């Protein structure tokens, strides 16, 4: 399990493969009456868009920190495990990465209530449309997914902020 987690942490290809398979399964469940080629095409399209967005984010974060994608994954692992690097140049890279991530999270925090409100409105709209059309299966599935995503964001955000602030404090002490 640990090797799978490390593989998914480091490899964009492994993440893309897993995402493609998950999206393919969900698409097959939702669109049972369509040809399987449509499932594959939609899954490939959605996965491609997600991979491009993720690659751009990783590249920007690696450039801001002054390291490559592998180094970025290793530094993020050290942040999660509260490990302060021993080498001074690695500490400098870690400081830049922590400052970048904290800045992003604090800027995103200003928009979080609006984002959650928009997700709630979309979810209510989907439920209303499902009630009018008589098909509540997809709207209920969407609602459960949206509630799970929003709950996960609200649960992880304080933990991530605390982890980054503690790492910033530990790097200042070094």
How high is the pLDDT of residue 8? 80
pTM for the full model? 0.76
Is there a contact between 106 and 122 (Cβ–Cβ < 8 Å)? Answer: no
Q: pLDDT tens digits, the chain, 174 residues: what are they? A: 668 877 887 788 888 999 999 999 988 888 888 899 999 999 999 999 999 998 898 888 888 888 887 788 888 888 988 889 888 888 888 999 999 999 999 999 999 999 999 999 999 999 999 999 888 888 898 899 999 999 999 999 999 999 999 999 998 887
How high is the pLDDT of residue 152? 96
How high is the pLDDT of residue 122? 95
- Indicate the burial class of 54 (C-beta count within 10 angstroms; 0-12, 13-18, 19 or more): middle
How high is the pLDDT of residue 24? 92
CA angle 72, 73, 75 (to 5 degrees): 65
CA angle 82, 19, 140 (to 5 degrees): 100
Contacts of 160 (CB under 8 A, 6+ apart): 105
């Amino acid at each position: 399990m640990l090797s799978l987690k490390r593989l998914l942490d480091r490899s964009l290809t492994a993440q893309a493969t897993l995402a493609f398979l998950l999206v393919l399964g969900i698409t097959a469940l939702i669109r049972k009456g369509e040809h399987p080629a449509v499932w594959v095409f939609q899954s490939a399209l959605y996965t491609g868009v997600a991979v491009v967005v993720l690659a751009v984010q990783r590249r920007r974060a690696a450039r801001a920190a002054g390291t490559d994608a592998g180094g970025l994954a290793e530094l993020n692992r050290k942040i999660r495990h509260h490990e302060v690097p021993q080498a001074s140049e690695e500490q400098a890279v870690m400081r830049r990465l922590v400052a970048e991530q904290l800045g992003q999270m604090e800027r995103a925090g200003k928009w979080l209530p609006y984002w959650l409100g928009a997700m709630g409105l979309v979810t209510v709209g989907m439920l209303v449309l499902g009630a009018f059309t008589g098909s509540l299966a997809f709207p209920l599935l969407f609602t459960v997914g949206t509630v799970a995503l929003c709950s996960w964001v609200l649960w992880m955000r304080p933990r991530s902020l605390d982890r980054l602030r503690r790492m910033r404090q530990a790097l200042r002490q070094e």
